[in-house]
Chains A and B, each alone.
Chain A
């Protein structure tokens, strides 16, 4: 039964009931809740309930020095933390008028794309688990860990890299890093057919995912859907291309799209994006050795650093969609206001509520995972 056919009655019959879906529920990504009203096992309406991961980031950032915030920002989105660091650093650079050395920009792109790979691999695992397939999850997480090993080598941290700093990056690549990265990319590419067999061409996935959580391009635009979820509705729209930042305009990559607009399309888009990220990383491996120069523009002593008054809105394409960072300075030692637009603020609330409506209960988890909703981004 679709939602439009549903008429609420004065006294709900017994087959109509409410369910707390989360926060402690294996079908929920992160610590998040969805209150669903069911008619049988059809969702009549759903309402997101967030705040379980609320830390008051924006308030916290107003209380810390500009430099201190670099440790805080990656924590806003746990599965894909790197874009947060880059976005914050870029915003501060814009406010200060700092020119980031070219090599730092390339290193940042490298970090972003590696982070995208980790996020997508994680996504495959999560999505597979919601369809009852645990093997892709085991694979995805284990392969993601190999990328994390490289992160550890490059940045000293596995997940929270804290690699960026306004002005550039903190460390240059260690010796032999590019070779190892190249080998890893070869390995990941060789793994893809295996993933295909197990997951992407799996009859179970296709049957479960096709038509699940389907939205039209029009709806997607209306709900401010961004990133792979938007591209899964057939619109070639990517911040990296439309509003290029760092050195993305020097890199060759395609923007994969799918037409279906459903969970399957969203998964396939991400699979193609993984390939594109590998392609971008290959170009970086080729170009990086020829780009010399410093990795960080000199910044003032962090303890005596007033960032000039002004505002900056930085947009970035994270693995989940458009990331927006609005940073306001009043010329002081601390940000006056930071506002984070996580892509999931749209996906996990409005879009999820709308897509869940009319779907079956068992599909809700899949819809949420297929949207790659990241609750900490909503809660901040």
Chain B
């Protein structure tokens, strides 16, 4: 189910398809969306304090599995990236890497105050303030932190949105990559790069727009270096061996 070639399907222009009035294709679309909404895998990544309310939401008491939602350990197979509260700058880099690795369609949920306007840590030099500066967000759940019931209500709302086919924020990342990259560069410095080729993917998904590329992507190209194999950077040998 998860490996259903959704991207291929969205690669065609949906508006054209609707006009074609192919009833089978429409029914098929609906079926796909229904199936998608009923089996969402949520990436198991606790970025902040809201994560503490996820175990109750996932386990027997509130049981989000009855909605077909369950944690998934790898980003490649996950549909939902749940940002549980504040994202420190260091984590944000990982979150962006993770997000870019996830397969479309993908949904981002920001829970807690911190993902909206900085929350408790609005004065902090270490946390990012507005999540939607760095990636498109589908849904927000208010609370500090939201109770499991609120989380589940939010997830149900997301399911609704997927079912009616409006949860398309992920396309925005490709369409306006330059904007998101600009914000990322502002925070991480201009040498920031990720291993994923977003521009290439956007072309692949036919989501390439004039806003996909811009000054920031040009800056990225300027600094982009080919990925090298990871070096051993532990520096453990002398320092920690004798502890």
A residues sitting closer than 8 Å to B (CB atoms) are 3, 8, 12, 18, 23-26, 30-31, 35, 37, 45, 47, 51-56, 59-60, 63, 71-72, 75, 78-79, 122, 125, 137-139, 141-142, 144-145, 148, 158-160, 350, 353-354, 376, 379
> In the bound complex, do residue A55 and residue B59 qualify as a contact, i.e. CB atoms below 8 Å apart?
no
B214 located at the interface, meaning its Cβ lies under 8 Å from any Cβ of chain A in the complex = no
> In the bound complex, do residue B51 and residue A78 qualify as a contact, i.e. CB atoms below 8 Å apart?
yes
> In the bound complex, do residue A18 and residue B243 qualify as a contact, i.e. CB atoms below 8 Å apart?
no
> What's the nearest-Cβ distance from chain A to residue B196, in Å?
15
Taking a contact as CB atoms closer than 8 A, the residue among A23, A56, A138, A354 that contacts B60 in the complex is A138
CB nearest neighbor in A for B237: A8
> What's the nearest-Cβ distance from chain A to residue B105, in Å?
20
B60 surroundings in chain A (CB, below 8 A): 138-139, 141-142
B127 surroundings in chain A (CB, below 8 A): 55
B199 surroundings in chain A (CB, below 8 A): none
CB nearest neighbor in A for B88: A54
> In the bound complex, do residue B86 and residue A23 qualify as a contact, i.e. CB atoms below 8 Å apart?
no
A52 surroundings in chain B (CB, below 8 A): 47, 88, 90-91, 94
> In the bound complex, do residue B88 and residue A47 qualify as a contact, i.e. CB atoms below 8 Å apart?
no
Binding site secondary structure of chain B: loop
A376 to B237, CA, bound (A): 27
> In the bound complex, do residue A141 and residue B121 qualify as a contact, i.e. CB atoms below 8 Å apart?
no
A53 surroundings in chain B (CB, below 8 A): 48, 88, 91
**Per-position binary interface string of chain B over residues 232-243, scored 1 when its CB falls under 8 Å from any chain A CB and 0 otherwise:** 101011001101
> In the bound complex, do residue B234 and residue A45 qualify as a contact, i.e. CB atoms below 8 Å apart?
yes
Which residue of A24, A37, A47, A60 has the most chain B CB atoms within 10 A of its CB atom? A24
CB nearest neighbor in B for A223: B243
A55 surroundings in chain B (CB, below 8 A): 86, 88, 121, 124, 126-127
Taking a contact as CB atoms closer than 8 A, the residue among B94, B124, B145, B241 that contacts A45 in the complex is B241
> What's the nearest-Cβ distance from chain B to residue A184, in Å?
14
Q: A47-B234, A145-B56 are in contact. Are A63 and B91 (CB under 8 A)?
A: no
A323 to B90, CA, bound (A): 26
A60 to B125, CA, bound (A): 9
> In the bound complex, do residue B59 and residue A142 qualify as a contact, i.e. CB atoms below 8 Å apart?
yes
B53 located at the interface, meaning its Cβ lies under 8 Å from any Cβ of chain A in the complex = yes
CB nearest neighbor in B for A158: B147
**25 A–B contacts from the bound complex (CB under 8 Å):** A12-B232, A18-B234, A24-B44, A24-B75, A24-B94, A26-B44, A26-B71, A31-B47, A52-B90, A52-B94, A53-B88, A54-B90, A55-B127, A56-B121, A59-B124, A75-B120, A137-B55, A139-B60, A141-B55, A141-B56, A142-B61, A148-B56, A158-B147, A159-B53, A353-B243
> What's the nearest-Cβ distance from chain B to residue A31, in Å?
5
Taking a contact as CB atoms closer than 8 A, the residue among A24, A60, A145 that contacts B124 in the complex is A60
